[in-house]
Amino acid sequence: MFHWLGRWVYRARYAVIAGFVVVMGVSGIYGLGYQDRLTAQGYFDDSSESVAGAELADDTFGRDFDGDVIALYTAPPGRQITDPEFEDAGKALTQRLLTEYRTQIKDVTGYWNGSLVKARFITDDKTKAFVSIGLQGTGDQDSVDFYHQIQDKLDIPGLGVQVSGRVPVSDAVGLTMAHDIERMHLIALPLVAIVLFFVFGGVVAAALPLIVGGLTIAGSWGIMRAVTDVMPVNSFADAVLQLIGLGLAIDYGLFMVSRFREQIAEGRDTEQAVRTAVATAGRTIVFSATIIVVCVAGVLIFPMVFLRSAAIGALAAVALAALLSITVLPAILAVLGRRVDALGWERFSRTRTAAQIDGSFWSRLALWAMRRPVLVALPIIVVLAGLIVPFFKVEFTGISEKFLPPDNATRVAQQDFDATFPTERVYPLKLVIEGADRATERALVAAANTAVANQVPGIIGEFQKPASGGVAKDGANVKVYAASLADKDDADAVIGELRAIAPPDGVSYYVTGIPALERDSINGVIDRLPWLLLILVLASFVMMFLAFGSFVLPVKAIFVSFLSLTAALGFLTFVFYDGHGSGLLNFTPQPLCFPVLVIMIAIIFGLSTDYEIFLMSRMAEARENGAATTESIRYGTAHTGGIITAAALVLIVVTGSFGLSELVLMQYIAYGMIVALVLDATVIRMLLVPAVMRILGDACWWAPGWAKRLHQRIGLAEYEIRPQPGHAHAAEEVSA
């Protein structure tokens, strides 16, 4: 199949280039600005009780806009909010907001609104007061746009003002993500170009993977633009798309160009070099992309829009990166031929013959690891497995202002408001009661107050009807009560006590609000996590069996991939939960955001298996050509060591740009992936894998008889047939 594809790409090279460039270009133009259609919502489990309660309340009363925007005012030293000067200015501001910005603002409640009890909105010492502004719109991007139109209109002369609330926090997170992507383009791309130049030793060869990366991102934009027409897509998807799309496209391009140049160095003509590169590196790319696609697709089992959006973004990027790498890239190589080395610097040229590669550092490293395999493998396994220990004590949380830097103005404002008005939290816990008469409703609320507010630490005050409760549509018999949590860490215990209250027959009773929505989402993700892990394991096993016809190699690959994953999770816990390095990276140690970890688990496991496939493909190729197991291990390591290291370095540069982010979520991804990539490309692939395979010996290639027959019938192996690789005395060197 892949030989046929290589032949077709060579013969139709100009049409392939033109066709794909036009299609990707049109897709990119269609997708321009699709980021404006993304949502800042989607962090909650749509199948949970809390979401059902929230939807019932919103359907009945309309969106809860209380706390959209909070303006906290502070009097100067020696003055009070009640001074006539400030009273007049505050009333004028309230009136102006309600009249001049009616298309942006739904309602304003606060100290200067005379129809309400003022004591709720001012401190006892009369030095601080607040105004709550409800915005028009759905509470999503449209509300953010309305907020942008009024955020500079909230000043009162003589008073200090801090702006917080749900919409400003969401806006701050979204703007930070957008800045991270811009930083990636400004910093990562030039650095990647420099890395590729030194890897290939030439401008032309270095530019080819970048071309594939650009086409991949352009095509992915169009796909995501179409997806936004049929489902909400969280803004996090754009960061994942650009990170994975650029990184994998460059990685795949690196493998394809390297294999082509190796063929040219061996004296093959351009057509044969293209056909062989597509049949070998192209086949491996397809297997790699398929495993990553299945791993990432496993995330779709979670009902959260946030996770599904990130998964769809990654799927689009991976699929296009692989497709373009086995079509457009070899077509360009077919046009260039030996000119692929044009504009090169001979000193850094990496075009080597097979004999030169066989004598390289990577070949010697594999031989060294195989001489004392137990002494090499055992310490590595113990250390990598031990790195997971910090993760056993970790706790999880949802999205909040604490993921912004400690000195971020919006975060500081939110924390100051929460501390000043603890009973007026922007994120209260809510009870939604449907179908109860007045006596039953009072009994349930009283029971809640008695069982929770008065006896269980964690609730501030009593459950009361929110100020923005509104009027029930169509006279629906639904009531909403809200109270504040003193500490989000107590959410599970408080929610459990509330849900233990059993309503009478015919009455529906929901515990909801942001704290319940977050905890239900976290618990829902944890409950489904074993299914994701099962998908990762089964997908890797099946695809690697189809590739190599062995039962042992997939098991070994899964084992070492999990070592990489556990090390990354342990590192993240050590840094972001325990707080080591918080001063340097400017973040607050806190529970980890579990949904982001789920994305990382799928991506890291997929990338780890990706490198394993590239390494094992060259080993299996040597084995197919008659080499012994020891020689196959050495050959595969020698011929992929430098390329895997370069590929990992490229991804480290791309993800490293997110390490400069002010948003802790992006720092998770950056530093977690950097740790996994460094371990994968060095200790695991170059030392642990050769040592473990040397211990296993010929058992590496074992499979039951029926599986061998099945593989011969449907297996997808396709190798370059060539004389047995050099280093015929590898076995003697290992035993020396």
Strands annotated E in 160-305 = 160-164
Give the dihedral sign, CA 550/553/556/561: negative
Distance of alpha carbon 250 from alpha carbon 577, whole angstroms? 33
Residue 49 lies in a domain: no
Place of tokens 């706790």: 395
Largest interatomic CA distance in the chain: 95
The pLDDT confidence band at residue 453, using thresholds 50, 70 and 90, is very low
Residue 6 lies in a domain: yes
- 137 φ/ψ sector (left φ>0, alpha ψ -120 to 50, else beta): left
Residue 452: per-residue pLDDT = 44
CATH number at residue 117: 3.30.70.1430
pLDDT 10s digits, 53-88: 988 888 888 777 878 899 999 999 999 999 999 999
Residue 399 lies in a domain: no
Q: Lowest-confidence range among 127-136, 531-540, 717-726? A: 717-726
Crossing angle between the packed helical segments 166-183 and 664-679, to the nearest 10 degrees = 40
End-to-end CA distance of the chain: 42
Given a cut of 70, whether residue 347 has pLDDT beyond it is: no
Same domain, 510 and 527: no
Give the dihedral sign, CA 233/234/238/244: negative
Three-state DSSP string of 281-314: HHHHHHHHHHHHHHHHHHHHHCCCHHHHHHHHHH
Return the ∠ at Cα 261 (arms to 258 and 262), rounded to 5°: 85
- Picking from 160, 186, 219, the residue at the C-terminal end of a domain is 160
Residue 658 lies in a domain: yes
Distance of alpha carbon 631 from alpha carbon 627, whole angstroms? 6
Same domain, 513 and 528: no
For residue 131, the 8-state DSSP code is E
Whether residue 366 contacts residue 633, with contact meaning beta carbons closer than 8 Å, is answered with yes
Residue 46 lies in a domain: no
DSSP element (H, E) containing 626: none
pLDDT 10s digits, 461-487: 777 776 554 556 666 788 888 887 777
Q: Which residues pair with 107 in a beta bridge?
A: 134
Same domain, 421 and 557: no
Given a cut of 50, whether residue 454 has pLDDT beyond it is: no
Given a cut of 60, whether residue 727 has pLDDT beyond it is: no
More confident residue, 347 or 298: 298
Output the six-digit token pair for 729: 């005395």
- pTM: predicted TM-score of the whole model, two decimal places: 0.83
Residue 51 lies in a domain: no
Given a cut of 50, whether residue 721 has pLDDT beyond it is: no
pLDDT 10s digits, 264-292: 887 888 999 999 889 888 888 888 898 88
The pLDDT confidence band at residue 722, using thresholds 50, 70 and 90, is low
Q: Which residues pair with 430 in a beta bridge?
A: 482, 512
Helical ranges in 326-360 per DSSP H: 328-336, 354-358
Domain count, the chain: 3
Which residues contact residue 365 at a Cβ distance below 8 angstroms, ignoring those fewer than 6 apart?
637, 641, 686, 687
SS3 652: helix
Same domain, 515 and 525: no
% residues pLDDT > 70 (the chain): 90
Residue 329: per-residue pLDDT = 94
Given a cut of 80, whether residue 415 has pLDDT beyond it is: yes
Query: Mean pLDDT in the chain?
Result: 85
> How many other CB atoms sit within 10 Å of the CB of residue 683?
19
Output the six-digit token pair for 371: 């001489």
Same domain, 656 and 563: yes
Whether residue 283 contacts residue 259, with contact meaning beta carbons closer than 8 Å, is answered with no
pLDDT 10s digits, 27-42: 999 999 888 888 877 8
Given a cut of 60, whether residue 631 has pLDDT beyond it is: yes
Same domain, 557 and 611: yes
Same domain, 313 and 427: no
Residue 47 lies in a domain: no
The pLDDT confidence band at residue 93, using thresholds 50, 70 and 90, is very high
Q: For 130, phi and psi rounded to 5 degrees?
A: -140, 160
Domain that holds residue 89: 68-160
For residue 680, the 8-state DSSP code is I
DSSP element (H, E) containing 135: strand 128-135
Whether residue 342 contacts residue 203, with contact meaning beta carbons closer than 8 Å, is answered with yes
Same domain, 453 and 574: no
Given a cut of 70, whether residue 451 has pLDDT beyond it is: no
What mean pLDDT do residues 500-510 have? 85
Distance of alpha carbon 21 from alpha carbon 15, whole angstroms? 10
Given a cut of 60, whether residue 105 has pLDDT beyond it is: yes
pLDDT 10s digits, 287-333: 889 888 988 999 999 988 889 999 999 999 999 999 999 999 999 99
- Picking from 160, 185, 212, the residue at the C-terminal end of a domain is 160
Residue 486 lies in a domain: yes
Closest CA to 61 of 482, 468, 517: 468
Residue 474: per-residue pLDDT = 65
Same domain, 502 and 555: no
CATH number at residue 669: 1.20.1640.10
Distance of alpha carbon 36 from alpha carbon 43, whole angstroms? 18
Same domain, 675 and 554: yes
Same domain, 107 and 124: yes
Residue 690: per-residue pLDDT = 93
Q: For 595, phi and psi rounded to 5 degrees?
A: -55, -35
Q: Lowest-confidence range among 367-371, 499-503, 576-580? A: 499-503
The pLDDT confidence band at residue 243, using thresholds 50, 70 and 90, is confident
Closest CA to 674 of 564, 563, 562: 564
CATH number at residue 449: 3.30.70
Same domain, 432 and 448: yes
In this structure, the dihedral spanned by the alpha carbons of residues 321, 324, 325 and 330, taken in order and rounded to 10 degrees, is -170
SS3 368: helix
Given a cut of 60, whether residue 262 has pLDDT beyond it is: yes
Distance of alpha carbon 48 from alpha carbon 52, whole angstroms? 6
- Picking from 496, 519, 542, the residue at the C-terminal end of a domain is 519
Distance of alpha carbon 76 from alpha carbon 127, whole angstroms? 8
